[in-house]
Amino acid sequence: MVRNRDFWAGIIFLAIGVGLLVFLIPVGIDEPKRVKFAVMSPSYYPRIIAIAITIIGLMITLGALAEKKPGSSFPNIDARPIFKVVVVFIAFLLTAYALPHAGFVLTCTLALFFLMILAGERNPFIIAPVALLLPICLHLFFAKIANVPIPGGILEPFLQGI
Amino acid sequence: MYDTLANAIGLFATFQNVMVLFVGVVVGTITGAIPGMTTPMAVALTLPFTFAMQPVTGILLLLGVYKGGLYGGSITAILINAPGTPAASCTAIDGYPMAKRGEARRALDMALYASCVADFVSNLSLILFAGVLASFALQFGPAEVFTLIVFSLTIISGVSGDQLLKGYGSACLGLILATLGLDLVFGTNRFVFGNLNLMNGLAFIPVLIGLFALPEIINFFVQKSTPREQSALAGMGATFADFKNNLKTIIRGSFIGVVLGAIPGIGGAPAAFLSYSEARRTSKNKANFGKGELEGVAASEAGNNGVAGATLIPLLALGIPGDIITAIILGAFMVHGLRPGPLMFQENIDLIYALFIGIMLSSFYLLIIGKASIRVMSKISDIPQRILFPVVFVFCVFGAYAVNNSIFDVMVMMIMGIVGFAMLKLEIPAAPFLIAFILGPMLEDNFRQAMLISKGDPGVFFSTLICWVFWVLTTVVVGLTIWSYIKERQSEMVSRGVGNLG
């Protein structure tokens, strides 16, 4: 299992290194027209790091292949928790997407409800106060004391009145 | 001399000064403990309150917030793995595993003791050696800082554990991520791809929170049934024996913090990492570092807080602010018509001495306030995880946003959380990524500045004694690491061979 992880980690490093050298650095770094010394180029340092990532990726992959027992295969990462991972990722990304539209208080209240229930909490006398009060308290602290303009979203008129 | 001291005591010893300093340390500790509320933010928010105060009172308030904030950052790092500052992320490496074992109070206690001792040593250094340290700090040009950062990066081997190659790969990913944004020399885009939010690069705090706190939360939802391992020391605080055993590490870390803090632009993070690295190198429990070693917490907090007094050395002695916080404090001096620098030691020596007295008192306040808060704070880790983790997630969301008032930063945090989770699953250590991400910009900037000054001649990195000292230290540490790695592999192969024969 450990070597399996090494193999995939090596492949990922290798892919990132090659991706940087072949695509991301040539396309993503704007070179100035005149550079006096090669080392001053904006792409010099990233290129060195990309080469290092590629070499490290290659070493890890080859190391994992050398340790592989005959007859065993690599691509068997445990797929059972993938569904749960996807649900949590979607919840996180939905939260980030909803923040500017629905506001922090409403979004975080809904996120707290969902995540606490997903985590196994069933007591409504814990879920309700935590989910309702925590985002309001945090909003008041950041907005009123720390002067951070927290987006209120659709609850803005209500929150301004507090 | 005695007249000056008497005048300084007269200037300091007012009820208002003593109280304001106390309030400052309380405010700093609380704000430092809130993810997203950074110490510079807390100092900046306090600044307007100082306008109506006497100069000594106002500056003491800011210094109190600063010192409280440095310690406060370690609280969330230990309890919920969400470091409030880049330097506190080093504390999280060992502090959070201790909290997971139920030893949160012990870790918090040690962080407090290390912070107070380091703060005291740093203040004493400021008072006694300001002139000497300021002139030493001025010898650090880009080449010297570059070699210092290279040496600091040797800690990557230490925090990679038995995954050395993956640790180096992880560090390279951190270095490449740190290059995002505008190129500092030419002002051209690097990996911006037309996104204006990326022009300033990625902010530290969202990346830190995403990489440390979120993977733990995701992992909890994926493997809900993981029981908490409880150590025999669960719920207990640090003992005097613990403190005595770690005193050498704390003192060493304090002096590392003092020396690095005196150099403008270095800050607490390299000091914390270097102190941690030295502690690990000389420790008997080397293998336990990164898995919840008390000495690791002591070392990183000592390094982090050792800079507190020392950052004031270039400010007071030369009028040069070494970081954002001292720049704000410089602003406070100027608002009150004072100009820090050599002349201030002649014209306003009473005020300087009054500040020194206040600074010494702040270490004592930190101990009292920290001790009082730990009893309450350590209970946080007793909250059931099914409630704690969703709550931490909401704290992270607010915290990531508050750094730059940017939803983009929240998005960055979420994505880094997903990246961190993938790293966790593939057993790629996250600490090297983080260290490289924090030190990366300093490494590249100083490398390019040095090359610009030397007109492309790499000999600049071997031109002074300081450079040579750091090269020799780096070579020795790297050599020892490779040697011990080869030895471990050899003994692993021998034991496997014996196993196969059996």
pLDDT in the model for residue A80: 58
Task: Please tell me the distance in Å from B110's CA to the nearest CA on chain A.
Answer: 29
Task: Pick A40's closest partner by Cβ from B384, B390, B448.
Answer: B448
Tell me how far CA of residue B433 lies from CA of B52, B167, B321, in angstroms.
Answer: 45, 8, 29
**φ, ψ at B319 (rounded to 5°):** 80, 20
Question: What is the domain partition of chain A in residue ranges?
Answer: 2-67, 82-161
Nearest Cα residue to B271 out of B301, B312, B231, B241: B301
Whole-angstrom distance, CA of residue A107 vs CA of residue B112: 36
Section A92-110 average pLDDT: 92
pLDDT in the model for residue B226: 55
pLDDT in the model for residue B234: 67
Do the chains contact at B386 and A119, CB–CB below 8 Å? yes
Q: What is the DSSP letter of B51?
A: T
Whole-angstrom distance, CA of residue A121 vs CA of residue A132: 15
Please name the residues in contact with B415: beta carbons below 8 A apart, sequence gap of 6 or more: B210
* Residue pairs spanning A and B at CB distance below 8 A: 173
Residue A102's pLDDT band, with cuts at 50, 70 and 90, is very high
Task: Please tell me the distance in Å from B131's CA to the nearest CA on chain A.
Answer: 36
Which residues of chain B have a CB within 8 Å of the CB of A28? 189-193
Which residues of chain A have a CB within 8 Å of the CB of B384? 121
pLDDT in the model for residue B298: 95
DSSP character string of B434-445: HHHHHHHHHHHH
Domain range holding B474? 2-224+239-501
Task: Please tell me the distance in Å from A126's CA to the nearest CA on chain B.
Answer: 9
**HSE-up of residue B278 (Cα within 13 Å, Cβ side):** 24
pLDDT in the model for residue B439: 87
Do the chains contact at B387 and A121, CB–CB below 8 Å? yes
Tokens of residue A82, six digits: 């993938």
Q: Assess if residue B275 is contained within a domain.
A: yes
Whole-angstrom distance, CA of residue B55 vs CA of residue B287: 50
DSSP character string of B182-246: E-TTT--EES-TT-GGGTT---HHHHHHHHHHHHHHHHHHHTTTPPPP--TTTT----HHHHHHH
Exposed e or buried b per residue across B344-363, where buried means at least 16 C-beta atoms within 10 angstroms of its C-beta:
beeebebbbbbbbbbbbbbb
Apex CA A129: angle with CA A128 and CA A130, to 5°? Answer: 95
Other residues' Cβ atoms within 10 Å of the Cβ of residue B41: 20
Task: Please tell me the distance in Å from A81's CA to the nearest CA on chain B.
Answer: 6
Do the chains contact at B402 and A148, CB–CB below 8 Å? yes
Please name the residues in contact with B139: beta carbons below 8 A apart, sequence gap of 6 or more: B464, B466
| Residue segments in chain B with a per-residue pLDDT below the cut of 70 | 1, 35-36, 224-234, 496-502
Task: Pick A138's closest partner by Cβ from B214, B398, B451.
Answer: B398
User: Which value does ipTM take for this structure?
Assistant: 0.89
3-state secondary structure of B12: helix
Whole-angstrom distance, CA of residue B77 vs CA of residue B212: 9
Do the chains contact at A100 and B414, CB–CB below 8 Å? no
Task: Please tell me the distance in Å from A55's CA to the nearest CA on chain B.
Answer: 9
Nearest Cα residue to B449 out of B435, B437, B461, B436: B461
Do the chains contact at A56 and B176, CB–CB below 8 Å? no
Strand partners, B182: B189
pLDDT in the model for residue A21: 96
Task: Pick A59's closest partner by Cβ from B165, B405, B447.
Answer: B165
pLDDT in the model for residue B205: 82
Instruction: Report the residue of chain B nearest A59, measured CA to CA.
Output: B165
Do the chains contact at A100 and B224, CB–CB below 8 Å? no
Instruction: Report the residue of chain A nearest B448, measured CA to CA.
Output: A40
Task: Please tell me the distance in Å from A159's CA to the nearest CA on chain B.
Answer: 16
Q: What is the DSSP letter of B181?
A: E
Contact (Cβ atoms closer than 8 angstroms) between residue B34 and residue B394: no
Whole-angstrom distance, CA of residue B173 vs CA of residue B458: 25
3-state secondary structure of B35: coil
Please name the residues in contact with B418: beta carbons below 8 A apart, sequence gap of 6 or more: A89, A92, B214, B218
Do the chains contact at B390 and A36, CB–CB below 8 Å? no
Residue with tokens 């790297």: B478
Instruction: Report the residue of chain B nearest A1, measured CA to CA.
Output: B426
Compute the residue count for chain B. Answer: 502
Q: Assess if residue B232 is contained within a domain.
A: no
Tell me how far CA of residue A135 lies from CA of A117, B84, B133, B208, in angstroms.
Answer: 17, 19, 47, 22
Among A7, A21, A34, A115, the residue to mutate for chain B (most B Cβ within 10 A): A115
Instruction: Report the residue of chain B nearest A118, measured CA to CA.
Output: B221
3-state secondary structure of A29: strand
Residue A72's pLDDT band, with cuts at 50, 70 and 90, is low
Do the chains contact at B447 and A99, CB–CB below 8 Å? no
Apex CA B225: angle with CA B219 and CA B227, to 5°? Answer: 95
Domain count, chain B: 1
